[in-house]
Structure 1
Amino acid sequence: MNQAKIAMIGLGVMGKSMVLNLLDRGFNVAGYDINLDNRNRANQEAKSLAKLHGKGLFVTLGSLTQLLASLETPRIIALSVPAGEVVDSVIEELIEAGLEAQDIVIDTGNSLWTDSERRERQYQGKLRFFSTAVSGGEVGARIGPSLMASGDESAWQYVKPFWLAIAAKVDSQGMPVGQFEQGEPCAAYLGPAGAGHYVKMVHNGIEYADMQLICEAYHFMSEVLQLTPVQIGQVFSRWNQGALNSYLMEISAEILQASDPVSGKPFVDVVLDKAEQKGTGLWSSVNALQMGVPAPTIAQAVFARAQSGQKAMRLRAARAFKQQRNHADNIDLETALSNLHDTLFCAKLTVYAQGFDLMKTTSDTEGWALDFANIAKIWRAGCIIRANFLQDITQAYEANPELENLLLAERFIEQIELKSSGWRASTVQAVLHGVPMPAVTSTLSYFDSLCCEVLPANLLQAQRDYFGAHSYSRVDDIEQHRYHLTWSDEKIIQVRV
């Protein structure tokens, strides 16, 4: 074939899917994988694709030297390999194989954003390091992912045609369109090295929280309202037609209405209630703590997965305390479901507010100048957290790029005021009936704290000054003036520090 336009190293699930997507768009692609089975599988699927429409051509090579020789210059090489040391190992092998300073290496894995920053410094002058976080899983990679690119800005001009072509698309209303339909691509250059993977990390933190919120709504309907999985799935299906429309709501409805092919029971009832995690939610929570940004719901979602893993302990505690859960015999079902719908809307919006606040703080610290309207745009399709109201979030940031907190956008203030009574009612019912809703309750506490003119932090800071002489500011003086109170049996003395 003619020289390849782009190469993919790593032909596993994600790498192979992106290759097939590139072929769909007519690009010639070269591939390499240390695993022969992965190479053969990619070759076979590429051949089957060629028989269907005969667009782009694909070839796998037996060495990195051959791979480099097959590419046009500057060479563009995407890596779809496990995050961490493997990325550095492959880059070093490429350098040894003849990679040159103008060549572009793109990390498309789930790398920690600080690793991307370090790699740009480390490989400067040896290659142009670039990163692109990919969201959407296997299906998204195959038919249209959300792509968060960052790194060497000159490299973006070469990478851009590929990513805009394969990305998911939305129409003028922000709604996803089919793979081969025209629309606005969900791919963007976000800034210097690290920015793309950072935004993806926060995306995943929001994803953790959104999943947990949906699971808590399911738990409430099951335990308090005594609905079956199929009934709950049907409710989710209805909700997915309106303001709560999202990919996660859609798949939750499908899961809950499915039967186990082995036992015939509701599928969800045969799945062990121990949730695993890969780490990006944890990274988001740790980063929020490091930056001093309140993101309690993302952290609670991580904690919820951790507590689900304590199955044996939970069984012992359930037997020890014999907690009685009172079913909602006297609760009107439609009212309860309406309240729960509003709860999910408000809680979901609050999670986005936490995530965007975290991105804003880090962007200011790192000097990235992130475009939040653009980020909301590329999350409207392709990614796991795609949802209808990302269009509203996009418009909120377009109207006010300096928006201090998403919940303060005019378009959301009225909606929260209308729906907050349902938010509170569902939370109260959950507490009264002993059904844990840690993510929901944390969103409400976050919202109430945000709206509280005076928090009890005055007492907390007084405590810190009392036992540790950490000093305090006064409400009747400028904040920069600091004081310390000395305590004795005779009198209390304030001193300026």
Structure 2
Amino acid sequence: MAVTADIGLIGLGTMGSALALNIAENAAPIAVWNRTTARTHAFHAEAADLAPRITPCDTLEALVAAIRPPRAIILMVPAGQAVDDQLAALTPYLAADDLVIDAGNANFHDTNRRARAGLSFHFLGMGVSGGEEGARHGPAIMGGGEKADWDRVAPILTAIAAKHETEACADWMGPEGAGHFVKAVHNGIEYADMQMIAEVYGMMRDGFGLPAPAIGTTFERWNNGVLQSYLIEISAAVAAATDPLTGAAMLDVILDKAGQKGTGRWTAIEAQHLAAPIPVIEAAVAARNVSARLDERKAGEAVYGPAPERLPAGMLSEADLEAALTAGKILCYAQGFTMTAAAGPAFGWNLQLPAIARVWRAGCIIRSAMLDDMAQALTEDPARNLMLAPLFTAHLKRSLPALRRVVSAAALHGHAMPALSAGLAWFDAMRTACGTANMIQAQRDFFGAHGFERLDGADRPHGPWAMA
């Protein structure tokens, strides 16, 4: 088979198809293969004007033969065993200097394992964010592996990536699974951002009694201010949408039961291993799990009555909700970047926090105007918690009183706000020099003789209960 492509792609599902079209249009001729041959040819036929830049292949051997050596092949297959199976299937056809790029939602531990497995070809793990629209028109791309391998394909990847002004939102994060780790943190922040928006939506619906279109108008207005972001933008759109079957507000006919693919859960689990507290993200993951327990929630309501109550007039304003959401967002991102910083020493990666913030400024699901300021703050001092950066301390000092009012009103009137409440509790703990862990240390010493440090520095590491 003649060489017709500069890069290959395996897996023509929703994301793979969109990414292949993006590459064909903006970067290079591409060869494609799908496990189902009919899908390969249907995709090629549907590519219309881009079809001449796409080579459909019926076999893996044909795919490899169509790509200019040294070859680069992107995998867009489900995470887990499917990736290992595909790597094994490719092995007989690839040369030592060929490169395979796993661009799926892999667990970064799997990417670490594959990078260390002694494959007979080069391997990159690559986080891709932005959904189908991003994959087609410009995603955020987070690479992990050998820097030389990233540099080899960087011209194609930066060509297809989203652009913030003129800067491509694609970068090398570090070796092995660093790219997939950064993508996991991104997804954890995404869970939390979505949950906090949902909590504020719930307060407007149940606490203020606003209909969905009015809530959509509020989100649309917020998107012109400090909260400007993709998630606020789409929240306005979904709240304003009408169900074509019933004519009701679209939100009012959607079952209150959120799905997940596990990436947020991975972030929460890894944070525990790193001893990096991310309570807003953990609360958001738990909230999705609670949402899945619909029968139990119905049973609880039957016994106790519905929890959310209408707020007394004037107790909260929409401005309070906007400010509370602003504070929650800053606190959530601060936790995510702190967790990322902890991963560097743990895994031997030199993760560059400013570069991560810059990659997230466009293309990805959590893109927002705030990330530009975060990139600047992290450039000034990467080791400083974002909640202590001057720009964000100013934001927090203005918005924290509203967050307190919102969380307090929610607690008093039965509105579940796990993520915003967790953010407030974390903030209060992080601004308290003398907390309550002395009681825990005394308890641990009492029942287990674990010892403790003393404020006066004296060499008496046990309490009097240990001297009986």
TM-score range, shorter chain: over 0.9
Residue-by-residue CA offset, 1:215-235 (whole Å, 9 max, x unaligned): 000001111111111111100
What is the distance in 2 between the residues matched to 1:464 and 1:201?
A: 34
User: How far off its partner does 1:268 sit?
Assistant: 0.6
What is the distance in 2 between the residues matched to 1:311 and 1:251?
A: 25
Equivalent residues of 2:102, 2:126 under 8 A apart: yes
What is the distance in 1 between the residues matched to 2:394 and 2:55?
A: 56
- 2:55 is equivalent to residue 59 of structure 1: yes
Equivalent residues of 2:5, 2:29 under 8 A apart: yes
The residue identity in structure 2 corresponding to 1:484 is H
What is the distance in 1 between the residues matched to 2:57 and 2:211?
A: 53
User: How far off its partner does 1:2 sit?
Assistant: 5.0
What is the distance in 2 between the residues matched to 1:486 and 1:288?
A: 36
Give the SS at the match of 1:138.
helix
Q: Find the partner of 2:161 among 167, 173, 186.
A: 167
What is the distance in 2 between the residues matched to 1:383 and 1:137?
A: 8
Compute the TM-score of the two structures, normalised by the length of structure 1: 0.91
What is the distance in 1 between the residues matched to 2:382 and 2:425?
A: 26
User: How far off its partner does 1:322 sit?
Assistant: 2.4
User: How far off its partner does 1:323 sit?
Assistant: 4.9
- 2:286 is equivalent to residue 286 of structure 1: no
Partner of 1:213: 196
Compute the TM-score of the two structures, normalised by the length of structure 2: 0.97
Equivalent residues of 1:123, 1:129 under 8 A apart: no
Partner of 1:193: 176
Partner of 2:87: 91
The residue identity in structure 2 corresponding to 1:20 is L
User: How far off its partner does 1:86 sit?
Assistant: 1.0
The residue identity in structure 2 corresponding to 1:458 is N
Instruction: Write the mapping of 1:112-151 to structure 2, written as runs, cut at 5 A.
Output: 112-124=107-119, 126-151=120-145
Instruction: Write the mapping of 1:482-497 to structure 2, written as runs, cut at 5 A.
Output: 483-485=461-463, 487=465, 493=467
What is the distance in 2 between the residues matched to 1:251 and 1:189?
A: 29
- 2:16 is equivalent to residue 38 of structure 1: no
Runs of 4+, deviation exceeding 6 Å:
none
What is the distance in 1 between the residues matched to 2:222 and 2:85?
A: 47
Q: CA 1:272 to 1:325, structure 2 compared with 1: closer, same or farther past 3 Å?
A: closer
Give the SS at the match of 1:188.
strand
Equivalent residues of 1:22, 1:29 under 8 A apart: yes
Q: Greater shift after overlay, 106-115 or 415-424? A: 415-424
Partner of 1:352: 333
Partner of 1:387: 368
Aligned residues: 467
Partner of 1:178: none
- 2:424 is equivalent to residue 444 of structure 1: yes
Residue-by-residue CA offset, 1:257-281 (whole Å, 9 max, x unaligned): 1111111111111111011111011
- 2:380 is equivalent to residue 399 of structure 1: yes
What is the distance in 1 between the residues matched to 2:110 and 2:242?
A: 43
The residue identity in structure 1 corresponding to 2:455 is V
What is the distance in 2 between the residues matched to 1:112 and 1:123?
A: 19
Give the SS at the match of 1:434.
coil
Give the SS at the match of 1:30.
strand
User: How far off its partner does 1:61 sit?
Assistant: 1.1
What is the distance in 2 between the residues matched to 1:82 and 1:322?
A: 42
What is the distance in 2 between the residues matched to 1:79 and 1:329?
A: 55
The residue identity in structure 2 corresponding to 1:167 is A
The residue identity in structure 2 corresponding to 1:80 is M
Residue-by-residue CA offset, 1:466-497 (whole Å, 9 max, x unaligned): 1122211111118xx6722352xxxx639xxx
Q: CA 1:387 to 1:482, structure 2 compared with 1: closer, same or farther past 3 Å?
A: farther
The residue identity in structure 1 corresponding to 2:333 is Y
Residue-by-residue CA offset, 1:197-248 (whole Å, 9 max, x unaligned): 0000000000000000000000011111111111111000000011001111
Q: Greater shift after overlay, 253-262 or 315-324? A: 315-324
What is the distance in 2 between the residues matched to 1:32 and 1:346?
A: 46
Q: CA 1:326 to 1:69, structure 2 compared with 1: closer, same or farther past 3 Å?
A: closer
Q: Greater shift after overlay, 451-460 or 311-320? A: 311-320
Q: Greater shift after overlay, 423-432 or 199-208? A: 423-432
Instruction: Write the mapping of 1:72-83 to structure 2, written as runs, cut at 5 A.
Output: 72-83=68-79
Q: Greater shift after overlay, 410-419 or 345-354? A: 410-419
What is the distance in 2 between the residues matched to 1:31 and 1:471?
A: 62
Equivalent residues of 2:27, 2:160 under 8 A apart: no
Give the SS at the match of 2:438.
helix
Q: Greater shift after overlay, 307-316 or 212-221? A: 307-316
What is the distance in 1 between the residues matched to 2:56 and 2:313?
A: 66
User: How far off its partner does 1:325 sit?
Assistant: 4.6
Give the SS at the match of 2:144.
strand
| Cα RMSD for the two superposed structures | 1.5
What is the distance in 1 between the residues matched to 2:451 and 2:114?
A: 42
The residue identity in structure 1 corresponding to 2:14 is V
Q: Find the partner of 1:100 among 48, 73, 95.
A: 95
Give the SS at the match of 1:484.
coil
Partner of 1:157: 151
Residue-by-residue CA offset, 1:395-451 (whole Å, 9 max, x unaligned): 101111332x11111111111111111111111111111111010100000000000
Q: CA 1:21 to 1:482, structure 2 compared with 1: closer, same or farther past 3 Å?
A: farther
- 2:213 is equivalent to residue 235 of structure 1: no
Give the SS at the match of 1:78.
strand
Q: Percent identity?
A: 40
